[in-house]
């Protein structure tokens, strides 16, 4: 019943967007967490689904780019950004090999204190992926709820974490991602002052009038069929996701 309703609404908005000719306006930033063969987790997109989704992007002639490209505004309408939150080891073990096959690159937001721990990327993985064109961003030091912590703690989670990630990896860490998609005005100010060029939220949608510190993303769910994925790329789920986001306050 839930699936039927989801299909009905997304189909209606997909057709509505096609009629309005807005399916390819704005750059879409996809949001993944985990990709592997152990299903049943709301953060995990099954490996086979991920493979089909990347195959679809390649067939539809999408070009994966970094966040810096979309902020520069050098767009042709076929660009897409593929992001992964939290820095799980399966991003290397599963997603990386699939994406490399298609010549795709991604952006991974690491939590500083998780690097090298069981189930998370280690420094060697990060360096190997960076050499293949992947970008790395900051997802704080410990993954807190940013609006719930004070200014000093925000400095540790945002400013110090950026510096520590740069020192550890030797890579430029230019983009930030708010844990749980939660941010308050103070967090946004600290992110700007830390020298980041932009930050990802969980606000659903494509980035048309680009606000660098409130970049919108499209979450890919474990249950998405390839038809759902195609509709998500065209904005068929945006209305439904925005409504859910407004109700929950976050996603
Ligand atoms: Zn996260």
Residue 119 near residue 88 (C-beta atoms within 8 A) = yes
* pTM of the predicted model as reported, rounded to 2 decimal places: 0.89
Dihedral over alpha carbons 242, 245, 247, 250 (to 10 degrees): -160
Residue 62 near residue 79 (C-beta atoms within 8 A) = yes
Confidence (pLDDT) at 122: 98
**Total domains present in the chain:** 1
Closest CA to 96 of 66, 134, 60: 134
Confidence (pLDDT) at 246: 67
What is the C-alpha to C-alpha distance for residues 29 and 216, in angstroms, rounded to an integer?
7
State in Å: Cα 144 to ligand 1 middle: 9
State in Å: Cα 74 to ligand 1 middle: 28
pLDDT above 70 covers a percentage of the chain that reads: 84
User: Tens of pLDDT along 176-187?
Assistant: 999 999 999 999
Average pLDDT over residues 89-113: 97
Average pLDDT over residues 44-71: 95
CATH of the domain at 39: 3.20.20.370
Q: Give the DSSP H or E segment for 131.
A: helix 123-131
The residue with tokens 């789920």 is: 237
3-state secondary structure of 6: helix
State in Å: Cα 139 to ligand 1 middle: 7
pLDDT-based confidence at 251, cuts 50/70/90?
A: very low
Average per-residue pLDDT for the chain: 90
State in Å: Cα 111 to ligand 1 middle: 8
3-state secondary structure of 135: strand
State in Å: Cα 179 to ligand 1 middle: 5
State in Å: Cα 138 to ligand 1 middle: 10
Residues 6+ apart with CB under 8 A from 15: none
Domain region containing 66: 2-248
Which residues are within 5 Å of ligand 1 (an ion), measured at CB?
A: 85-86, 179
User: CB-side exposure of 161: number of CA atoms within 13 Å?
Assistant: 31
Residue 163 near residue 133 (C-beta atoms within 8 A) = no
State in Å: Cα 236 to ligand 1 middle: 25
State in Å: Cα 143 to ligand 1 middle: 6
State in Å: Cα 32 to ligand 1 middle: 10
């Amino acid at each position: 019943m839930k699936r039927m309703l989801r299909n009905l609404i997304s189909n209606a908005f997909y057709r509505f967007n096609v009629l309005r000719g807005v399916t390819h306006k704005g750059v879409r930033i996809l949001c993944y967490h985990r990709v592997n063969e152990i299903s049943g987790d709301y953060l995990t997109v099954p490996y086979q689904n991920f493979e089909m989704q990347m195959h679809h992007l390649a067939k539809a002639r999408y070009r994966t780019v970094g966040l810096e490209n979309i902020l520069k505004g050098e767009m042709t309408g076929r660009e897409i950004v593929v992001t992964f939150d939290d820095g799980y080891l399966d991003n290397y073990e599963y997603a990386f090999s699939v994406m490399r096959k298609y010549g795709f690159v991604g952006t991974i937001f690491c939590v500083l204190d998780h690097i090298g721990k069981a189930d998370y990327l280690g420094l060697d993985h990060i360096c190997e992926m960076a050499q293949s064109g992947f970008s790395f961003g900051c997802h704080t030091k410990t993954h807190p709820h940013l609006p719930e912590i004070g200014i000093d703690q925000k400095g540790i989670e945002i400013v110090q974490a950026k510096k520590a990630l740069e020192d550890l990896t030797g890579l430029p860490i230019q983009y930030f991602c708010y844990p749980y998609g939660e941010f308050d005005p103070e967090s946004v100010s600290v992110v700007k002052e830390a020298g980041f060029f932009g930050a990802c939220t969980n606000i659903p949608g494509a980035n048309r009038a680009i606000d660098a510190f409130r970049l919108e993303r499209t979450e890919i769910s474990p249950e998405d069929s390839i038809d759902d994925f195609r509709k998500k790329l065209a904005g068929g789920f945006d209305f439904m996701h925005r409504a859910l986001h407004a109700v929950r306050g976050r996603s």
